[in-house]
Amino acid sequence: MASLPRMKTVFQSPVEPGFVQNPYPFYDAVRVHGDLVYWDDYKKVAAVSHRAVQALLKDRRFGREVPAELQRSGPAHLVPWLTVEAHSMLEAEPPRHTRLRALVMRAFTSRAIAALEPSLHDLSHDLINRFPDTPFDLLDAFCSQVPVITICRLLGVPEEMSPDLLRWSHAMVAMYQASRTRQTEDEAADAARDFTLFLTEYIEQRRIDPQDDLITHLITAEEEGEKLSHDELVATCILLLNAGHEATVHSLGNGVKTVLQLGLDPRTCDPVRLVEEILRFDPPLHMFTRYAYEEAEVFGHSFKRGDEIALLLGAANRDPMVWSEPNHFDPSRPIVTNTSFGGGLHFCVGAPLARLEMRIALQALFDRCPNLRLTTDPDYSNTYHFHGLTRLMVQV
């Protein structure tokens, strides 16, 4: 990297406990060195400003798919997980990504999402009705239940499968964490194998007995005469299930934690602005990586084909060039586009659903539980580059 000497090299272990619990001081410290820094622990360039992250999310000279000459077959023990990844829309670029996303968007319509609002309202209140009088974990009782049950209903998967779906999802997405181990890999492979087997059988049921659900729509969706292959269909369902609740669980948990710690009364807040501030202030995903597909000069640095760059979404969302007092949680601030759902071709297809879930669930929670309080200081799990709590102990 010829221009590397012009870039500040920074050091920060992504598994260091203090950083995991609060990465924002590190972001503030490195952002003063410019739009890009070289993060030595990851051995890659990192974009840390809002303008750099936004620009690189939309720059078609960069993408998610590993360049062909860098692709390697993975270890045998990871084959089930790698098979799902190989057919995932998230890891694809045009023309494959264009076809997959178009097929998904034909089924994942704004009308289908809007139609979920009444059931989301009822689900939120049903879950609140079950809250005990004694301290309990709000993540398990509410934050995880709202999105996983909703995505089950949308896809047409039996709700009683939600515990298995949560377990499989947690195991699979753990592959992206900095603290990944061989045990992480074995559990992810097992989860991918079980998840694939379940969906294969369930998809066949839907072929025989079609219903008005997302899996049926994905089976029947066509784009210019092309349908999803079986592997693509399985991978798409897994992606929607995993992404459809993982980020929302963390967003709800992080948001409730912030509101309760600051002693705010969210009932006085505009619900839409509250959701956007939660997403900006403490997002569920802090890093999104991309590969350079050609030589490119970006923010004073020369990239060559195959170079990987980390886009630090959490750093971009606290950029003082965009938000005044960015480390201050202010649900009344004007909405400015944050980077929590990515951008460009890979902008999160489930963002409208996540926003709807958060708005309805948070309104129900704070309206019904005005005296909700923390009973234990919450801790974040050691899962960087995800950012979510291990538990959220509260009392109503």
Domain count, the chain: 1
Write down the pLDDT at residue 224.
Answer: 62
* Tally of CA atoms within 13 A in the half-sphere of 13 that contains its CB: 6
**Which CATH number do you get for residue 87?**
1.10.630.10
User: What phi and psi values does residue 285 have, to the nearest 5 degrees?
Assistant: -125, 130
Distance CA 389, CA 255 (A): 11
pLDDT digits (tens, 9 = 90+) for 16-72: 999 999 999 999 999 999 999 999 999 999 999 999 999 999 999 999 998 888 888
Q: Which domain holds residue 307?
A: 4-66+75-395
pLDDT digits (tens, 9 = 90+) for 315-333: 999 999 999 999 999 999 9
Write down the pLDDT at residue 336.
Answer: 92
Write down the pLDDT at residue 176.
Answer: 81
Write down the pLDDT at residue 2.
Answer: 40
- Pick out the chain residues at pLDDT < 50: 1-4
Write down the pLDDT at residue 128.
Answer: 98
Write down the pLDDT at residue 363.
Answer: 96
Give which of 128, 76, 116 is closest to 362, Cα–Cα. 128
